[in-house]
Structure formats: C-alpha cells, structure tokens
Amino acid sequence: MKKYFTEYRLNFRRRLEEEGYSDELLEEHLRKIAFFQHERLIHLLVTILFALMTLITILAFIFLKRISLLILGLLFLGLTIPYISHYYFLENNTQQLYKDYDDLMEAKRSGK
C-alpha cells in the first residue's frame, strides 16, 4: 500500500505540473481520495481492535497470572505496533491528498 500510495502521489504531481487542471484528473483524484479514506478507516478499526485485544489480554494476565495470556498479549502487541505505524502513514498521506486537491483547484482557478 505504501508503494502504491507513493507512486500515485508522484504520478499525480507530475501530471498536474505537466498537464495542469483537467476534469479527468479531478475525477480520478477524488476517486483515489475516497479509496484511501476507506483504507484509512479500515486500518483504524483494525488498529483499535488489536489495541483493545492487547489491553484485555494483558489485564487478564495481571488478574489470572497465566503465562499463556502474557504470550498472547505480547503477540497482539507485536501486531498492534505495525498497525499503528501503517495507520500513521495512511493518515498523514491522505491529508497530503487534500493538499494536492487544493493545488488542483488552484490550477483550475488560474487556468493552468
């Protein structure tokens, strides 16, 4: 996803610089924003789910003192950290798409 996202943004910026505004570019960009927002939402939900599972499992370990719960909690934590990292990437770069949209609208207003 990171590679796809990065390539899309580079391609969009290149097209905007070379071709300027077009209705086709606007429609494509709005579609991609919607796709990336959906991806971001799904990853937010998964991240929250894994964080809750981690917390519940570690709390269960504290109260029940079973080593298997600690191991499970550490496995969940091991998955939660990459999910947080990926969500952070999606969040920040989706906001970059909004700035790209603003640049596209500025190109439309200036007639480029």
DSSP string, 7-38: HHHHHHHHHHHHH---HHHHHHHHHHHHHHHH
- The predicted pLDDT at position 111 comes to 78
Residue 13 is assigned to a structural domain of this protein: no
Q: Are 39 and 90 in contact (CB under 8 A)?
A: yes
- The predicted pLDDT at position 112 comes to 66
Residue 70 is assigned to a structural domain of this protein: yes
Q: How many CB atoms lie within 10 A of CB 54?
A: 20
Residue 85 is assigned to a structural domain of this protein: yes
Residue (of 1, 87, 90) closest to 51 by Cα position: 87
43-67 mean pLDDT: 95
Q: Model-level pTM?
A: 0.79
Domain count along the chain: 1
- The predicted pLDDT at position 20 comes to 87
Residue 10 is assigned to a structural domain of this protein: no
Residue 111 is assigned to a structural domain of this protein: no
**Which residues constitute the domain of residue 30?**
23-105
Residue 4 is assigned to a structural domain of this protein: no
Residue 98 is assigned to a structural domain of this protein: yes
Instruction: Convert the pLDDT of each residue in 80-103 to its tens digit.
Output: 999 999 999 999 999 999 999 999
Residue 15 is assigned to a structural domain of this protein: no
23-30 mean pLDDT: 94
Q: Phi/psi zone of residue 111: left (φ > 0), alpha (ψ -120 to 50 degrees), beta?
A: left
